[in-house]
Amino acid sequence: MTTEMATDPTQAARWFHALSDATRLGIVMRLTGGERCVCELTDALDAAQSRLSFHLKVLKEAGLITDRRDGRWVHYSLNREAIEGAGQFLASIKPRRRLKVECCG
């Protein structure tokens, strides 16, 4: 992950839009433990496969997850670089202590 990508507001908007849904956050949380088959995610989230597929597509298009086919099953995992990039972006916008400056006076 390049520093430029981690500080790109357009990319950050894609990441945070993808993370702005409780179901998608649930998927990401479950993937922190490692790769999961789509059937495991369906069971864990008690979600219909069509609904889950939509959310997985959003996360994948944002670059936050990757997939791997194994026969008829699809396994998902976090894209470590993208997750680190989102963290770097948040760190880059952390408020900094400033000296008080008189304004308009």
Per-domain residue ranges of the chain: 3-92
Confidence category of residue 1, pLDDT binned at 50, 70, 90: low
**For the segment 46-64, what is each residue's pLDDT rounded down to a tens digit?**
888 889 999 999 999 999 9
Strand order in the sheet with 73-78: 36-37, 73-78, 65-70
**For the segment 63-96, what is each residue's pLDDT rounded down to a tens digit?**
999 999 999 999 999 999 999 999 999 998 888 7
Contacts of 81 (CB under 8 A, 6+ apart): 1
Domain 3-92 has CATH 1.10.10.10: yes
Residue found by looking up tokens 């894609």 in the block: 14
